[in-house]
Amino acid sequence: MPAPNLFLVYVRDVVKASTFYRGLFDIEPTFTSPRYVAFELAPGVLFALWSGRSEHAVPSTPRTSEVGLMVPGPASAVDDIYAEWVGKGARVVTAPYDDVFGRTFVVADPDGNLIRVSPVD
């Protein structure tokens, strides 16, 4: 069975969202259209932003999923990314803390989508 290879996030403004993610993750899009922008994370694996269902991208809507960034190294590596992202203006949802899987924190994009940083499993 094939593995998932597209991770799609609903946004209201694809230009604003792609600017946010380009700056946060320091990546460039591999495909851009007026309502859809894709970033290739690994060969054949895409992280994409789509404004085609923007009615679901209201910041006040509770989120039940997260985009995750797992980082290698000690807990201080998570704290370093936190400091960097706060410096870039990311909206903090949960400041760094220790959980069962290690050091973690959560920020939100302009549409309220959640982004968690944690150690590599």
- Reference 84, options 41, 24, 21, 27; nearest CA is 24
Q: Do 65-121 and 1-54 have the same topology in CATH?
A: yes
- List the chain domain ranges: 1-54, 65-121
Beta bridge partners of 114: 66, 108
Per-residue pLDDT of the chain (121 residues; tens, 9 = 90+): 789 999 999 999 999 999 999 999 999 999 999 999 999 999 999 999 999 877 777 878 888 899 999 999 999 999 999 999 999 999 999 999 999 999 999 999 999 999 999 999 8
Q: Please tell me the CATH code under which domain 1-54 is placed.
A: 3.30.720.120
1, 60, 87, 99 from 35: Cα distances, Å? 30, 22, 28, 37
21, 91, 100, 102, 104 from 75: Cα distances, Å? 23, 21, 13, 7, 8
Q: Please tell me the CATH code under which domain 65-121 is placed.
A: 3.30.720.110
pLDDT value at residue 2: 86
Look up the pTM and report it.
Answer: 0.90
Two tokens, residue 36: 């859809």
pLDDT value at residue 52: 86
